[in-house]
Structure formats: C-alpha cells, structure tokens
Structure 1
C-alpha cells in the first residue's frame, strides 16, 4: 500500500464548466451549495452564530492546495510544499488537498458568498503541508517532518486524510511531539471496509474518524475497529477541486471527507473555547456525538461509529464539563509497535493514561517509598472495612454510587440525545445531491 494513499473515492461525479465563476447560470452555482447536505444536517447557520473558527489554524497534510480557488482565497497560508521546497498554496494538479481545505475553511464566493463550497469553519486559516502526490511510490519518508512542521508553525489541529501503511518510530515520536504541544491530530479510518483502522488512525492520541451517510448510517466502505472515536459525513460530499478551468468542483465518498469535517468541528471549538486542551476539545466532540435511529442501544465506543457522529451545534452549546487535560485521548507511545492500541475514550471525567510529557518524567525514590506506604495503609483500611461488613452481614454499594460507575452519582456519558447533527430532532434526510456531469474516462477513482 503506498504511503500517499488518500482516503477519498471519487464517484465519477464532477462539476464541469469553465465559466462557472463568471458567466455560468446562477442555477448551477446554487446547485453546488444546495448539494452540501452536511451543512443542512449540521444546521450550519445556527453553528456559525456560535463560532466560525476565527483565530484557529488547521494544518492540512495532503496534496498542495490551490489557494487561489475563489472559495478559498484569503483563507490559505503560504505553508510549504515538501515536494519541491516551495509554497504549499500553489497546487493546481491534484484535487485532494484543495477538497479537504474547502470542507474545513471554504467561504464560498459571489454576492454574500452564497455560491460555491462553504466549509464548516469558514474563518479558519489553512496551513498547507504539501506531500508527494498519489502514485509516486514513496512510503513513510517525510511524515514525521510534516507533522513537526505543522506543529512548529502554530497549527492547533492537524488534518490527515491519508492512510500510511505503517508508522515508523520517528513518526510516532512526531505524533507524541504534537500531543506534547497540545495539537489535536485527526485521521481517517480508511476506505477498505475492513475491520482494521489505518495505522495512523489507530495510533493512541489520534482522533480516528469513520464515515456515515445522509441517514447517519455507517458507510459500507469505512474501515472499523475498537479504536474508532468519531464519525462524520463522508458520502456524496461536494467539495472544491484544484480549480482547473474545466473542473472547479467534485463530489466523492470517503473517510477523507469525514476527517475534514471533524477537524472543522474541532476548530470551531478551539475558537470558542481557547483555554481547553486538545483532549478537552475531543471530549466535547465525544460527549455531544449522536447515533442514527435504531442504533441508540449500541455499546460505546462502537467499532463503526466510535462514540457517534459529530453534532457541532451541541458540542458548542451543551453544558459539558471540561474533564481532564487528556480527555478521551490516550498517550502516544513512540516506542509502541506499528499497529498500536486505540485512542478509545474513557468515562465522563475524561481520565486516561498519562500524556507523553508526564510519562517521561518517571518517579523518584521518595515517591516510590511514599506510594508503598500509602498502599499498606489502604490495605489495612480495606481489611478493617471487610471485617466490619462481615460482622454486620451486609455488603456496601458498588463504587461510584448506586448502579456502579455508570449509575446515578457515578461517572458515565450523558444519555444520547435524539437526532444526529442538530440539537434536536431526527437526523434529517436531505434531498439527493444534484446529478452532476460525469467525469471523463481519464479521471480514475481516488483511493
């Protein structure tokens, strides 16, 4: 499997028309916005009253981005192209990076920016980190460098809609570096329909994302596994292309697109709640997530949905305790095997294993002695309690109050609210996207 494999499958539905940005009929421009069913499902107009992502930078590690696209112009920083060492915002040959950027930070164009693609976080700045294009035969070489560059350029979120076939020790150290610097890393599960996430998505500390369709159901080609954390729209997604004169937009399926939507939702939260850590941002996404009708009884995290699909409005407005700094993110272990263990979420308090910086500090001799003494004291207390309970002929309640850790008085997730993306109501069945002109035969599906 090539390292540069992207997580997007183009379904042959590409919007054609060289005159779209100038003399094209208004109806065609309207179709582009109307086809963005996730914005309707998210109730984006209500979302944008709470946050537009202003002041947040999202790094997109992908194809170089066409920063002059009318729907992106002004929102794309120069960045860096690691193919030739130049800028990362002048891409024009490959569509994938431009598409991901548009789903995150597209602002549309025309009167009132009512035409074209609009992203979920339209005021975000995109840091393009251009990597080698699909099919050039490279493997993991460069991933660690790209991650570190994004972190050092002050990105607070890194979107990686790519599926490396393995992670090197250097890659894992770079991911741990991002965690140490409080950068949220979001990656797609993969598009093979297999019960195994990509090594990047499965790495501890990474927010792993699966794809769902308009009904909220898991997409049949979305990879799944115990490390899944969240899901988001990834079927029939309209986005910007690299704005070649004859193909300014495209529609596709894939966990690439769902990853971009999760990154955008995280950016909205980082803008509104700047004092929350990356783990606490992930915690808000997890605690506000929803499930489709008929799936409310699933044990979470579910291999296909994780904790559910994102609901940005609820994430922005619900009363959700901040929880621990690490939230549902497990510490990234740079020395772990290539597969790693998953970043599954903990209880409502957000407790998880130590982060990388804490883990490396170790314990001094005095601390070890203190712990040993404490253990002896606790053992003694437990023995006394057990003896007294036997004398009284009864047993105490389970820890965490009546009902155990998930019962009243103990930690646990709030009950799932009805509806998928919006604050209330069922997952809206949006009208089918318009039938766009088909791509020419020389436009193969992206994998």
Structure 2
C-alpha cells in the first residue's frame, strides 16, 4: 500500500536560546501537576520501548535515559543516534526527558523522567522510505523480549496484518502495556495497531480538556491525553511544537511507566484499569454513556491513578482479549465490537502526527507519494507568567 506521513506542518518554533523558557510552555506538566506526581513515581526502573524513527540520545534533555536500541530498517544497527528524523526523539522527550542545566530546570521534561527509553527504529520520515507493518511487528516482539514493560506506538496504518496482531498478542503475554495513537484524521476510521485487541488506544485533547478536532474516534479510544501545542525535543539539540495523537500516546505511555514503577505486580490490564478508573470527562460530555466515542473514559489523571486506592480488579481490566490464541491475561475476555482487523500481506505505516512546528529543522509536509523538506525562520516563544494553564486541572 502507498505510504503517507501524516504531518500537516505549521510553525511554532522554539530556538535553543529559549530553552530556559521551554518548560513553562509545557502546559501538560502543569495540568498533570507533574511535580507532585513525580514524588509518587518517576518511572525509575521501567523501560519504555519507542517504536518510531529512532531517538537522538545525545539531546541534553535525554542523555543517560536512552538505551542503544535497534534499527529494523535496512542496515540495522543501533537506534539512539538519530539525527535526521525528529519524531522518535520528540516522543522520547515527552516520556522520559529530564531537562538540563541547574536543577534540570531548562528544556523538556517528560512525565516519567526516571524511565529508560528503548528506541526501535522502524520509520524514516523526511524521505520516501517508510517502515512496514512487518517491521513494526518485529520491533514490538523485540521490545517484549528485551525488558520493555510499556510499548509506545505513535504510528498508525489504515490496515493491519496477522503478523502485527500476533506481535501485540505476544507482547501482552509478556505483560507489556501496549499504547497506540488513534490517528489524526478527525474521522471514525479505525487505525492499527490502535484498534487491535488489548491495545490502549489514545485520543488527543487540548489545554481545556476538549477533544482535538483531528483526533480519530473509530479506533476504540480508551483514554485521551494532551496532544495539542506540545513542546518537545527536536533535532540538533533544539526544540519544536506539535499536535497529534502521537503526543497523547507518549503521555499515556509515560503514565503507564509511572504506574509500572509503583505497582510492579499489576498486569497490563490492571494498569489500564487505574488509568480508566481515574480518567475524567469534560463537563460538556460528563454523564453520558461510557466509553464515549471521542474521549473513551476521559483524559488521564496520572496523579490520581498513582494515589487513589483502587482494587486491582480482573487481570485484563478494561482491555479486550486478544483471541483466538489468548494469553492467561486475556482468558475469559472476548473482543469487543469493531475489533476485527483487515488482514493484508504487508502494509505501510505512517507516523501519527498532526501539526508540527520545528526550530531550525526540516519541516515535513505530507504528499500523496512523499514528503517535502522545508526550513523556516525561528521566533522565540512568548513569555509565560506562571505554569498553570487555563481550563481544567487534570489532577483534580
């Protein structure tokens, strides 16, 4: 199938000189009350696999938190020295960035700064090479076999394949929490792997808690997370802003890492149960039937997921089973409506990203058969007074 890189470009740059103000622009950290959350868990001891474009482990906000990883593209090799493609670095920073400078107060901080990133390179953005479903499936299996208890899939395809479904089932058998973006088309078209049984499918919300207009709602959305106007690490040790269910997926993976660190004996389904039981819907849709088709059970509240007294519940929690050859964790659970997959011999995967702005890096625009690289001037971000954004507090 023809591949598309979902990257509708718009510029909201953040140059290196503004690194000390980047943190104040990370509205998701304020909404989550990340400082209080980190006192309960930092994700230390947990490995999160980022199946993506590779990661620049030399970025000052990521040094020491990125493992060598592996490339599943031609030539193989490690995946922690990526200097051409930004997406994986951005996702890694939202998960496990630790900042830099005095007290690590400058630059990007992730929600789980104590976690380790296992970068697995399956995509190349910025040119005509893209990862295949088979490559993604191999990376998922590799992650499960190499200590990743959370697997972040900020990528999607309109088609699935049996090999992808089997790899997700295998990761579930190994106990991994598998998290994937619902997609950025603003339609009810299901994407994969988000629609596969047992995957935590994630939608994107803005600073007010409202669902992003381009967030798909046909991929069995379970929860939502901040996915609009997020600052993240960029190429050349710089920064960028972006919007998309990719970012939301990274934040849910980070929340899962926090829970894994604090509750190591919980199953993947029980981790998902904590996220669901503490999620919140905006007042505009509260009281409706759950799961809501756009929000799932609501936007995540990691502090509450860590702090509240919640019974462990069934091993599979709210996640549908991965029949037919289900693991013990999946036993007794049937796939819910809309869980069928379209099997193809092999399909192409595109990065789940919406609006991207970059600081001094190549910008990406999606075409029917390729990607155009562009450069734009940089502008410092405006000053911010205080760190609490308008709208709901995602902790309360």
Give 1:203's match in structure 2, choosing from 173, 179, 196: 196
Deviation at 1:445, TM superposition (A): 3.9
Q: Does 1:444 align with 2:361?
A: no
Q: Residue 294 of structure 1 aligns with which residue?
A: 284
Q: Measure, in 2, the Cα distance between the counterparts of 1:441 and 1:175.
A: 34
| 2: CA distance, partners of 1:50 / 1:442 | 38
3-state DSSP class of the match of 1:264? helix
**Residue 97 in structure 1 maps to residue 17 in structure 2:** no
In 2 relative to 1, CA 51–440 (structure 1 residues): closer, same or farther, beyond 3 Å? Answer: closer
Q: Is the 8 A contact 1:3 1:165 kept in 2?
A: no
Give the one of 109, 122, 126 matched to 1:131: 122
Q: CA deviation at 1:166?
A: 1.6
Cα deviation digits, residues 62-81 of structure 1 (max 9, x gap): 00100000000000001101
Q: How far apart are 1:243 and its partner, in Å?
A: 2.5
User: Is the contact made by 2:123 and 2:130 (CA closer than 8 Å) also made in structure 1?
Assistant: no
| Residue 327 (structure 2) pairs with residue 356 (structure 1) | yes
Q: Which residue of 2 aligns with 1:164?
A: 157
* 2:66 is the alignment partner of 1:76: yes
Q: Which residue, out of 293, 296, 310, partners 1:306?
A: 296
Contact 1:12 1:445 (8 Å CA) reproduced: no
**Distance in 2, Cα, partners of 1:58 & 1:242:** 21
Separation (CA, whole Å) in 2 of partners of 1:226 and 1:87: 32
CA distance in 1 between partners of 2:263 and 2:102 (Å): 31
Query: Conserved in 2, the CA contact under 8 Å of 1:11 and 1:253?
Result: no
**Aligned pairs, number:** 341
Counterpart secondary structure, 2:79:
coil
- The whole-number CA distance in structure 2 between the counterparts of 1:259 and 1:287 is 18
Q: Paired residue for 2:99?
A: 108
Q: Which runs of 5+ in 1 are unaligned?
A: 336-354, 362-435
What CA distance in whole angstroms lies between the structure 1 residues aligned with 2:2 and 2:38? 38
Task: Tell me the TM-score normalized by structure 1.
Answer: 0.72
- What SS does the aligned partner of 2:194 have? helix
- How far, CA to CA, are the matches of 2:20 and 2:331 in structure 1? 54
SS in 2 for 1:238: strand
CA distance in 1, matches of 2:76, 2:108: 29
The 1:156/1:446 distance shift into structure 2, 3 A limit, reads farther
2:241 is equivalent to residue 270 of structure 1: no
| Correspondence 1:157-306 to 2 at 5 A | 157-225=150-218, 227-243=220-236, 248-306=238-296
Determine whether 1:59 maps to 2:35: no
CA RMSD between the two structures: 2.3
2:145 to 139, 146, 152: 152
Q: What secondary structure does 2:235 align onto?
A: strand
**How far off its partner does 1:12 sit?**
1.6
Relative to structure 1, the CA distance from residue 121 to residue 438 in structure 2 (aligned partners, 3 Å threshold; closer, same or farther) is closer
Secondary structure, counterpart of 2:364 in structure 1? coil
Instruction: State which structure, 1 or 2, has the greater radius of gyration over its C-alpha atoms.
Output: 1
Whole-Å separation in 1 of the counterparts to 2:27 and 2:139: 32
2:50 corresponds to 1:50: no
Structure 2's unaligned 5+ residue stretches are 333-355, 368-396
Say if 1:10 and 1:251, in contact at 8 Å, map to a contact too.
no
2: CA distance, partners of 1:102 / 1:359 = 32
